[in-house]
Chains A and B, each alone.
Chain A
Amino acid sequence: MSGRLRFNAMHFMPYIYLPENHKDYKSLWVDFSNKNYDPEKGHELYNRYLSELVLADRLGFDAIVVNEHHNTVYSMMATPNVIAAALIPQTKNARICVWGVPPNFMLPNRLAEEYAILDVMSKGRLEIAFPLGTGMEYWAHPISPAQARERFRESLKIMLQAWSEDGPTTHYGKFYTYRFLNPWPRPYQRPHPPCYIVGSGSPETIEIAAELGFGYSSVFVPRKKAEELNATLRERSACYGHTMRPDQFPLLTYVYVAETQDEAEREYAIHLQRFFEDYARAAAYIAPPGYLSVDQLKIRAEGADKMHGGFDLDAISKSFFIAVGTPEKVANLLGEWGTQMGTNHFNNVVHVADMPYWKTVKNMTLFAEEVIPRLQAGGKEE
């Protein structure tokens, strides 16, 4: 690693008041009834979570990251642009990352407009990721998962055209027709905010990032596989004449920092366990028909078979980028992973599942005051 490193604070804003019998449900996504959502509690949670992200800005995190999910306790950010709009006037320096809205669930001109509004409002602090949307989201929308990738490509083309060319332009495609593509406002950053693709490693999605010269961040991908994906993307991008910068590979990490290793594990493990076992539990909704190729489905079905068994922090920490411990340990792990993954950009999940306010604040504060300076100093020494 060299040069200044970048540290984001990412939040899912989960709804944490699960009913006592929630283990009876195979999935807490898609068909888990919204009768379980209490708006009074939701109101308190929004206020709390927003304050945590505002604190991230004050503590000196380089960016705040929000994203979109539907029909689930996993996230209360069904429309993350609304959350971003609430954060912009309360924050000063942090980049505002909406990573992101699946374009397939929006009209492309509307999404181009919303992002442009956020970018202008924040004076160019916006960054965007384009997810295909998890399989779960397709059950919640009237959009076919079997044509998701094709529609996604067309949406991206329209949005990039809207941002890169003076309007009005036209678009006559398979999914969308625009006689006057001329969205106001235009983005503050020219031609558009920094763009990334986020995904779980489908070759088709990597190829899109390569072709467009976008950054790429993998999610729920084991460490070894994530490293291979970054290598593949570097190669494929070069084929399209793009040279990937290290900051274009945001590395998704789950971090928790405390004074001692024991304390960190004791305070964090239960929330991470609930995150993986409960909040992320989506059963077969993860792969609606056509969302994956048949080959990918088989690979993942085989992998899912192997993942069965009880939660083990050690085991899961070896598969994913999970750094739990003292500032020194977390800094060392991140430093090591940055080198391994060829990135200087750390996208840190600072809150998971039902982690209480005090732990979130403690985690973010220790991370900002004890971990970031260690890593920045390390970076300068090279």
Chain B
Amino acid sequence: MAKLVREKHTIDGVETVLYAAGQGEPLVFFHGAGTLGGLEFAETWTDRFRVIVPFHPGFGESGDDPTLTEPHDYLMHYLELFDALGLDKVNLVGLSFGGYLAAKFAVEHGHRIKKLVLAAPACMPDEKHPMVDILAVPAETLVPMLVSNFDVLKKYLPEKPDLNFIGDRYREATTFARLMWEHPLDFRLPRHLHRLKMPTLLVWGDEDRIVPIQQLETWKKYIPEAQSRTFKSGHLIHLESPEALEAIAKFLE
């Protein structure tokens, strides 16, 4: 298992920080609407893949760009980043909001994706089983909802109120609000998902309290060829389920 190494790139004016390590085919991971919990989990993949974990603009260690105001701006950002890194074709794994971005990227640039993994992807309109609108839930309520085993998350939280921690979360929420406040669901998704012809795996935690596991059926309806796996986990599967990380690696091999 190799330690991830920090790289900094300037992509269309945005300071873009990514962590990368390992040998093999490229595996790119898109994080969700917050970076609580860090990126170390991805090191488990470094024995089998060239793992690349970028921070989205406005999240974690990457810079801000307030002119990026819709999800499509992020697809363009990643098109440019992949070009800059010389990545012609990647395995793409996305979690939550990152799963939504990954699905959208693969819809539009399918030829750049070898295999696709969508873990508890967000933003799907589903009236019967709606996802939690994370912008409407106070932070102190939301954080415990992210996992089924709170111990997993606890070590990433400050013991007492910490202004910098509050500021970091507010910054990421700001970035997310810029993209999703007015339209938290993507009503175009269902009509576009049939374009996902690459091998696709849907992954869900059976105790997901943010995007309910019932949405797995909705996604399967639109991507009938996709495989699916569920694990004992809450929403943040990458932190909670080593089995899921292993299953993703197996699928991508």
Complex contact A290–B163 (CB within 8 A): no
Q: Tell me the smallest distance from the CB of A239 to a CB of chain B, in Å.
A: 24
**Does A142 sit within 8 A of B, measured CB to CB?**
yes
Also in contact, A144 and B166, with CB within 8 A (given A284-B138, A284-B139, A289-B135) = no
- Inter-chain CA distance A144–B180, complex, in Å, is 8
**Does A143 sit within 8 A of B, measured CB to CB?**
yes
Also in contact, A289 and B163, with CB within 8 A (given A142-B182, A144-B182, A294-B170) = no
Please report whether the interface of chain B is mostly helix, strand, loop or mixed according to DSSP.
Answer: helix
Complex contact B178–A147 (CB within 8 A): yes
**Does A160 sit within 8 A of B, measured CB to CB?**
no
Complex contact B178–A298 (CB within 8 A): no
Please report whether the interface of chain A is mostly helix, strand, loop or mixed according to DSSP.
Answer: helix
Q: Tell me the smallest distance from the CB of A151 to a CB of chain B, in Å.
A: 11
- Inter-chain CA distance A147–B180, complex, in Å, is 11
Report, nearest first, the 3 A-B pairs whose CB atoms are least far apart: A289-B173, A289-B177, A144-B181
Complex contact A146–B163 (CB within 8 A): no
The contact string, 1 if C-beta is below 8 Å from chain A, for chain B 163-191, is 11011001101111110011000000000
Complex contact B167–A297 (CB within 8 A): yes
Residue numbers of A with Cβ under 8 A of B are 139, 142-147, 283-284, 287-290, 292, 294-295, 297-298, 301-302, 305
**Does B10 sit within 8 A of A, measured CB to CB?**
no
For B69, B171, B174, B178, the residue with the greatest tally of chain A CB atoms inside 10 Å of its CB is B174
Also in contact, A298 and B176, with CB within 8 A (given A144-B181, A147-B69) = no
- Inter-chain CA distance A284–B164, complex, in Å, is 17
**20 new A-B pairs (CB below 8 Å) besides A142-B182, A145-B181, A297-B170?**
A143-B181, A143-B182, A144-B178, A144-B181, A144-B182, A145-B177, A146-B175, A146-B178, A147-B69, A283-B138, A289-B135, A289-B177, A290-B173, A290-B178, A294-B174, A295-B167, A297-B166, A298-B163, A298-B166, A305-B161
Which residues of chain A have C-beta atoms less than 8 A from B135's C-beta? 288-289
Residue numbers of B with Cβ under 8 A of A are 69, 135-136, 138-139, 161, 163-164, 166-167, 170-171, 173-178, 181-182
With CB as the reference atom, state the residue of chain B lying closest to A31: B136
With CB as the reference atom, state the residue of chain B lying closest to A30: B136
Chain A to chain B contacts (Cβ below 8 Å), 25 pairs? A144-B177, A144-B178, A144-B181, A145-B177, A145-B181, A146-B174, A146-B175, A147-B178, A284-B138, A288-B135, A289-B174, A289-B177, A289-B181, A290-B173, A292-B170, A294-B167, A294-B170, A294-B171, A294-B174, A295-B167, A297-B166, A297-B170, A298-B164, A298-B166, A305-B161
Which residues of chain A have C-beta atoms less than 8 A from B177's C-beta? 144-146, 288-290
With CB as the reference atom, state the residue of chain A lying closest to B140: A284
Which residues of chain A have C-beta atoms less than 8 A from B174's C-beta? 146, 289-290, 294
- Inter-chain CA distance A139–B69, complex, in Å, is 19
Which residues of chain B have C-beta atoms less than 8 A from A287's C-beta? 170
- Inter-chain CA distance A301–B166, complex, in Å, is 9
Q: Tell me the smallest distance from the CB of A207 to a CB of chain B, in Å.
A: 16
- Inter-chain CA distance A290–B136, complex, in Å, is 14
Q: Tell me the smallest distance from the CB of B71 to a CB of chain A, in Å.
A: 14
Complex contact A289–B182 (CB within 8 A): no
Which residues of chain B have C-beta atoms less than 8 A from A139's C-beta? 136
Q: Tell me the smallest distance from the CB of B227 to a CB of chain A, in Å.
A: 35
Which residues of chain A have C-beta atoms less than 8 A from B139's C-beta? 284
Q: Tell me the smallest distance from the CB of B97 to a CB of chain A, in Å.
A: 14
Q: Tell me the smallest distance from the CB of A242 to a CB of chain B, in Å.
A: 28
